[in-house]
Copies of this chain bind each other. A is one copy, B any other.
Amino acid sequence: MSFPVLPLESDHAANELSKKPHSHLTTAWISTDIRKHKMPALLSSMASRAAFVTPRFLATVAPTEPKSKPAQDPMKSFYRKDLKIQKATKEQMHTKPDHLQVEKVKFGHTYADHMMTCDWDETNGWAAPKIEPITDLKIHPGAKVLHYASELFEGMKAYRGLDNKIRLFRPEMNMARMRRTAARAALPDFDAEEAVQILIEMLKIDQEWVPYSNVCSLYIRPTLIGTDPTLGVAFSKNAKFFVITGPAGQYYATGFQPVKLLADSRHIRAFPGGVGAYKMGCNYAPTIWVGKEAEKKNCQQVLWLNGEDEEITEVGTMNIFVLWKNEQGELELVTPPLHKGLILPGVTRDSLLELAREMNEFKVSERIFYMEDVKKALAENRLFEMFGCGTACVVNPVGSIHYHNKEKNEYEDWNIPTMKSKYNVMQRFYDTIVDIQYGRLERPGWTREI
């Protein structure tokens, strides 16, 4: 079974559908709460209300291909059945951080023992995928990935639950996005479900690297690069798919840490007609210098704006949500829409939107909004929460914005009262998502056990 590559436009359709009352839904989602720890009252009420599935959710997991699979074709994908496994010797294995250390492990600095690699070439298609001890890649100095950023990636995590089962969170969403990105980056396609199954095999081999901790996880980095060793700015005739993994420590050691954002419309991340909606490496390189500039101003993240009218798009490497009372007096959760192609269609974003619609406590909107709107809402005490969301942190509260007022050419500091919100929406999102990830709350279709 492989999953459909969802067109971005489906988001709008889902949004429209979600405005209809949930009562028209015929398929119920069976909520089996296996939470073994204290559940906040508000979340509890949400969990019982969440016994629905939105049309969007159904669309995401419903298989659209016939059950009789076509013959396997190396021009179309690599396959789980062809997997070649060479396990690391004792000498090749690395020391795992122990229980106490693992929470302090710095993101992306420690790698598990194995990597998966699979080569592709235009003539023969995909070779057999391999799992082998992690080692340096040998790359020709003329390879397109080193010159023209012929590269893309995904970020996902494996979580060890209290039941000791290891779960992936909606991995099909990541693999569907990776296929869309590959198409835009002119790199080869593959079968999303085969990729997930190979990931699962890899996690079985490195399962001891998945931390025994309900605040840590094993980060998974699938990557696809163009390895064609020729210097024309052209389609890469060779490519390599690879996956590396490594433990990710605790994001919030002492509770949520609200971040300060640099908002300066002179720095742009993405633009209409560009590739902001794809997880291509090229979207990240230009942000590194801007991130350094933000650091100099004691900001931890950048709030990415677009255009003369300072449309809000993303925050750091996360999607952004605002909870406010809008100008019509409605309580509204708002996040920028996908249709302009300026933002990454985040898996956490999609999950929060779905949960929010199930909560049915406020209006949920995917629509364009501006810095001016935020300023006005703050001035009128209508803005309650602002937070980023992504795989790394689930949610990340915004505490203040260091705004460059381009008309005055001055910086202004805006305080955002996210941590004082009586609605507590961010916190409830966080609790629900991590409960699902660690198996404390069952939500069929959102987790895959390995």
A residues in contact (CB < 8 Å) with B: 106-109, 111, 115, 134, 136-142, 145-151, 153, 183-186, 219, 221, 223, 225, 230-236, 242, 244, 246, 265-268, 271-275, 280-289, 291-292, 317
Nearest opposing residue in chain B for A244, CB measure? B141
B108–A223 contact, CB under 8 A?
no
Q: Chain B residue with minimal CB distance to A185?
A: B285
Evaluate contact between A147 and B281: CB separation under 8 angstroms: yes
Whether A138 contacts B137 in the complex (CB less than 8 A), given A268-B273, A280-B285, A317-B233, comes out as yes
Name the B residues within 8 Å of A184 (CB-CB): 286, 289
Distance from A311 Cβ to chain B, minimum over Cβ atoms (Å): 13
A180: min CB distance to chain B, Å: 12
Chain B residues closer than 8 Å to A233, beta-carbon distance = 284, 287-288, 291, 317
For residue A236, which residues in chain B have a CB less than 8 angstroms away from its CB?
Answer: 288
Q: Assuming A108-B230, A268-B273, is B146 touching A223 (CB within 8 A)?
A: yes
User: Among the listed B139, B230, B234, B283, which residue makes an inter-chain contact with A288, where contact means beta carbons less than 8 Å apart?
Assistant: B234
A293–B299 CA distance with the chains assembled, in angstroms = 41
A282 engages B288 (CB within 8 Å): no
- Contact of B281 with A148 in the complex, beta carbons under 8 Å: yes
Please give the distance in Å from A346's CB to the nearest CB on chain B.
Answer: 15
CB pair B136 A281 closer than 8 Å: no
Q: A225 vs B225: C-alpha distance in the bound complex, in angstroms? A: 15
Give Cα distance in the complex from A242 to B146, angstroms. Answer: 11
Within 8 Å by CB of A147, from B186, B223, B265, lies B223
From B115, B186, B265, B288, A150 is in contact (CB under 8 Å) with B288
Residues of B close to A287: CB separation below 8 A: 233
CA distance A263 to B153 in the complex (A): 30
